[in-house]
């Protein structure tokens, strides 16, 4: 048998064969590897190769490692998603710490669309999950969507668990959405009869939500919440105590002294409070006429510069204002630290708002602390840019502080102040007019004295 001749391939030909073989292998391997990018279109979920049982799909959604992967699954199986799948997908998104923008994501839009389709078939737990999850990811679906969830929830409220009711109301409060008196009153009735089943976080979030929505649930209901709160006072976390005391203060609960055990519980956990919650706690004490302990009053000045920075300009100005309301001097060192931080913003003392700007200088004046010409000038310059937002009370505080510190503002500022005051002159209280008149007298500004002369 003749032997087959051996053909010698040239080196270039060998290299070409190797490249082709490598590319073919890589192409095959890539086709077998799950894509890390979501394509713009998906095959139908009914494809036998992709079919999953409903239970398997729920498991896949719960186990999705990223939002991208989860929304990949939503797109792939959008036509077969049921109540459990929607719950699992939205809960997973809410629990994710990713900062992905969802509004423009096609998978997220399909998830919302499927949710709308199934809304009237959802039970209370799923409806509450929809609202809570969207609030957690800070996506406002709009009034028609929210209305449809509330309408579907209302007939089921009597069978709802405390956490479901609270999550729904909390979401409405976060969105600033008024669910309507029928829903709110039904929720009050149902939660009143099940108050003994409410956990500390549920109690706090329920009352916080009512207060945030500006809805007063009635004194009888508040009495029930106070009683339940005192029963479980030892179980409240710092954030819950801050939130519920803030809510009691906003709703103007009678006999604030009844809440003393809550305040004592807070004082035992001060190291665990975030600076913003400490400031909220102090404000609540003032509104509820609860005298805070020295330990609580000194808690914020003991915090590090890094922790104080977390408050941002508006929060820092709020802290000074609260100490002014309480009449407690937090100390020169603390006042210096706060004023230095506020003066370092660009522009200086910006981002504080009208209340913050008036409260900063007012508090300094209350405690006889003069920040110095440079900082006062910078603060008044910022205030002048925002004078259109100042109320009569804020205008009065700012002017009184200038007079108290003997810091006469520039003529340009005084004229701008007068222009704003003229617009709201009928709204000034008699005491405010008197304070402004005296302040202009001290500042030797006769035009202002004449305008603000009490009648």
Q: What 3-state DSSP class applies to 112?
A: helix
pLDDT of residue 9: 38
pLDDT at 33: 28
40 has a pLDDT exceeding 50: no
The mean pLDDT value for 150-154 works out to 98
Produce one character per residue of 335-374: b if its CB has 16 or more CB atoms within 10 Å, e if not: bebbbebbbebeebbbebbbbbbbbbbbbbbbbebebeee
Q: 145 or 41: whose pLDDT is higher?
A: 145
- Tokens for 302, please give them: 């003991």
- Look at residue 104 in the predicted model and tell me its pLDDT: 87
| Element holding 131 (H helix, E strand) | helix 124-136
- What distance in Å separates the CA atoms of residue 142 and residue 77, rounded to the nearest whole number? 25
Confidence at 417, pLDDT banded by 50, 70, 90: very high
Q: Flag the least confident range among 86-100, 114-128, 181-195, 370-384.
A: 86-100
Give the percent of the chain with pLDDT over 90. 86
Least confident of 100-104, 266-270, 314-318: 100-104
d(CA 20, CA 235): 68
What is the Cα–Cα distance from 374 to 362, expressed in whole angstroms? 17
When the pLDDT of each residue in the chain is averaged and rounded to a whole number, the result is 90
Separation CA 103–CA 319 (nearest Å): 35
Q: Which of 173, 241, 179 is nearest to 212 (CA)?
A: 173
The pLDDT value given to residue 98: 73
**pLDDT value, residue 99:** 58
Tell me the C-alpha to C-alpha distance, in Å, between residue 35 and each of 32, 145, 212, 354.
9, 33, 45, 52
Q: Looking at residue 50, what is its pLDDT?
A: 59
pLDDT at 28: 34
Per-residue model confidence (pLDDT) at position 379: 98
* Number of other CB atoms surrounding residue 332 within 10 Å: 11
Q: Nearest Cα to 332, choosing from 340, 79, 248? A: 340
Residue 234 pLDDT > 50: yes
pTM of the model: 0.86
What does the angle CA 43 – CA 48 – CA 51 come to, to the nearest 5 degrees? Answer: 80
Q: DSSP 3-state assignment of 289?
A: coil
């Amino acid at each position: 048998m003749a032997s087959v001749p051996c053909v010698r391939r040239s080196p270039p030909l060998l290299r070409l064969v190797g490249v082709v073989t490598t590319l073919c292998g890589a192409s095959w391997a890539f086709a077998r590897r799950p894509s890390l990018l979501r394509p713009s279109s998906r095959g139908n979920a009914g494809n036998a190769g992709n079919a999953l049982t409903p239970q398997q799909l729920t498991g896949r959604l719960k186990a999705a490692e990223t939002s991208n992967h989860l929304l990949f699954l939503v797109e792939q199986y959008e036509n077969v998603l049921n109540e459990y799948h929607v719950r699992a997908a939205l809960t997973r998104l809410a629990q994710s710490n990713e900062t992905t923008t969802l509004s423009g994501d096609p998978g997220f839009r399909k998830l919302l669309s499927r949710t709308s389709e199934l809304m009237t078939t959802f039970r209370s737990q799923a409806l509450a999950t929809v609202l809570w999850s969207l609030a957690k990811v800070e996506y406002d679906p709009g009034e028609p969507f929210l209305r449809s969830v509330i309408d579907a929830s209302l007939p089921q409220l009597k069978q709802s668990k405390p956490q479901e009711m609270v999550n729904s109301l909390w979401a409405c409060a976060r969105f600033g959405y008024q669910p309507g008196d029928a829903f709110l009153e039904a929720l009050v009735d149902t939660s009143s009869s099940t108050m003994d089943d409410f956990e500390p976080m549920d109690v706090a979030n329920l009352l916080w939500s009512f207060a945030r929505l500006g809805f007063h649930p009635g004194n009888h209901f508040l009495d029930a919440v106070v009683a339940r709160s005192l029963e479980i006072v030892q179980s409240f976390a710092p954030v819950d105590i801050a939130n519920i005391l803030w809510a009691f203060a906003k709703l103007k609960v009678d006999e604030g002294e009844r809440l003393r055990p809550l305040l004592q519980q807070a004082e035992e956990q001060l190291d665990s409070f975030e600076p913003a919650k400490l400031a909220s706690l102090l404000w609540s004490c003032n509104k509820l006429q609860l005298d805070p302990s020295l330990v609580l009053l000194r808690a914020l000045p003991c915090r590090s510069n890094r922790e104080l920075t977390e408050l941002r300009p508006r929060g820092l100005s709020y802290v000074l204002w609260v100490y002014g309301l309480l009449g407690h001097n937090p100390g020169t060192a603390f006042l210096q630290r706060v004023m230095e931080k506020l003066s370092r913003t660009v522009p200086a003392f910006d981002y504080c708002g009208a209340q913050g700007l008036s409260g900063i200088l007012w508090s300094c004046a209350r405690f006889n602390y003069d920040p110095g010409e440079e900082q006062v000038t910078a603060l008044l310059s910022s205030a002048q840019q925002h004078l259109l937002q100042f109320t009569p009370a804020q205008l009065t505080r700012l002017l009184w502080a200038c007079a108290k510190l003997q810091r006469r503002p520039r003529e340009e500022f005084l004229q701008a102040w007068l222009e704003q005051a003229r617009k709201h002159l009928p709204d000034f209280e008699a005491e405010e007019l008197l304070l402004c008149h005296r302040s202009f007298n001290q500042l030797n500004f006769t035009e202002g004295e004449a305008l603000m002369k009490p009648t």
